[in-house]
Amino acid sequence: MYKVKHNVNGSVSRYKARLVAKGYAQTYGIDYEETYSPVAKMTIVRAIIALGATKGWSLHQMDVNNLFFHGDLQEEVYMEQPLHYVDQTRPDLVYRLKTNLYGLKQAPRAWSNKIGQYLVTSGFQTFNVDFSIYVKKTDHGIVVIIIYVDDLIITGDSDGDIFDFKKLLKQKFEMKDLGELCYFLGIEVI
Dihedral of alpha carbons 18, 117, 37, 136, sign: negative
Tell me, yes or no, if the pTM score tops 0.95. Answer: no
What pLDDT is attached to residue 16?
79
Asked if 146 and 45 count as a contact pair (C-beta separation under 8 A), the reply is yes
Q: What is the mean pLDDT of the chain?
A: 82
Range from 27-31, 74-78, 114-118 that averages highest in pLDDT: 114-118
Asked if the model's pLDDT at residue 57 lies above 90, the reply is yes
What pLDDT is attached to residue 145?
92
132 or 36: which leads in pLDDT: 132
pLDDT tens string 93-138: 888 877 777 667 777 777 888 888 899 999 999 987 778 899 999 9
What pLDDT is attached to residue 156?
93
Asked if 75 and 106 count as a contact pair (C-beta separation under 8 A), the reply is yes
The HSE-up count of residue 82 (CA atoms within 13 Å, CB side) is 10
Asked if 132 and 47 count as a contact pair (C-beta separation under 8 A), the reply is no
Q: Which amino acid is at 137?
A: K
Walk me through the domains of the chain, giving residue ranges and CATH numbers.
Answer: 38-72+104-188 (3.30.70)
43 or 103: which leads in pLDDT: 43
17 or 22: which leads in pLDDT: 17
